Amino acid sequence: MSWSKLKKELESFLSPALVGRVEYRATSYHYLLGKSGNCYIAVDKKNVLNMSDPNNTIRWYQTDQEIKSDSTLEVPVSNEEIEAVRQDTKGTVPEDRLIVIARKRKISELAKELMTAQATLTKSNFVVAATKYLSTSIEDNLESNDILLNVFALIDRRVGKKRILNMSEKIKLKHPIVQYFYELRRSTL
């Protein structure tokens, strides 16, 4: 599918409140071998999906250790996760430490997921993700670990107000760029 056709199709699914604010853009390098170009999403004429821009307000992690030490990252721990730690330690750990251990386990898993999901966004994998998004259900796109699929789904007109408001806890465990688009969409409700 050509870029212009794909772009038109993606824009047809934009939430009405975001039409004109969110746009899909592409650059390409026809004469440079090995340089496939970039696709990105702009909000209010500003490229927000750019990992290499030092002025970008979105946090892009370099290592999983950076994620683990990020104090702004909220990681809620459920009673089931605390109970699993209690069973693993055979009840020999004090209650207050169980929460700390469960949180550390969860943040380690989250760090691996975020680093896996955060990949260089080139034109080719952007196009692959956009094509996959268009051929997959909105629920699968929202549940996916793929950052781009989450972003596409969050700004989709088929995701209603009630669903957006009900997913606030799940969004806390997503990449900062997904959180950014969630807040953008929530601000338009």
Residue 63: count other Cβ atoms within 10 Å of its Cβ.
10
Adjacent-strand bridge partners of 21: none
Domain shared by 157 and 76, yes or no: no
Domain shared by 122 and 183, yes or no: yes
Domain shared by 47 and 132, yes or no: yes
In terms of Cβ atoms closer than 10 Å to its own Cβ (0-12, 13-18, 19+), residue 155 is: buried
d(CA 156, CA 133): 11
- pLDDT for 51 equals 56
- pLDDT for 33 equals 52
Domain shared by 125 and 48, yes or no: yes
Task: Give the chain's domain count.
Answer: 2
Domain shared by 108 and 136, yes or no: no
Q: Is 56 helix (H, G, I), strand (E, B) or coil?
A: coil
- Overall average pLDDT of the 23-39 stretch: 64
Please give the share of the chain, as a percent, with pLDDT higher than 70. 84
Domain shared by 148 and 87, yes or no: no
Domain shared by 96 and 156, yes or no: no
In terms of Cβ atoms closer than 10 Å to its own Cβ (0-12, 13-18, 19+), residue 181 is: buried
Q: Which domain holds residue 145?
A: 3-60+118-187
Higher pLDDT, 11 or 65: 11
- pLDDT higher than threshold 90 for residue 182: yes
In whole numbers, what is the pLDDT of the chain averaged over residues? 84
Give whole-number Cα distances, 150 to 3, 97, 118, 159, in Å.
20, 34, 12, 11
**For residue range 58-89, what is the model confidence (pLDDT) as tens digits?**
777 777 888 888 887 778 888 999 899 989 98
- pLDDT for 76 equals 84
- List the single range of 26-40, 67-81, 164-178 with lowest mean pLDDT: 26-40
Last residue of a domain, one of 117, 137, 162: 117
Domain shared by 56 and 68, yes or no: no
- pLDDT for 159 equals 95
**Residue 99, φ and ψ in degrees, nearest 5:** -65, -45
Domain shared by 73 and 104, yes or no: yes
b/e 14-51 (16+ beta carbons within 10 angstroms → b): bbeebeeebbbeeeeeeeeeeebebbbbebeeeebbbe
Domain shared by 56 and 144, yes or no: yes
**For residue range 114-143, what is the model confidence (pLDDT) as tens digits?**
777 665 444 447 788 889 999 999 999 999
- pLDDT for 121 equals 47
Q: Find the length of the chain.
A: 189
d(CA 105, CA 108): 5
Per the listing, tokens 């969004």 go with: 171
Please give the share of the chain, as a percent, with pLDDT higher than 90. 35
Domain shared by 109 and 159, yes or no: no
Whether 115 and 67 have beta carbons less than 8 Å apart is answered as yes
DSSP structural state of residue 100: H
Domain shared by 151 and 104, yes or no: no
- pLDDT for 181 equals 95
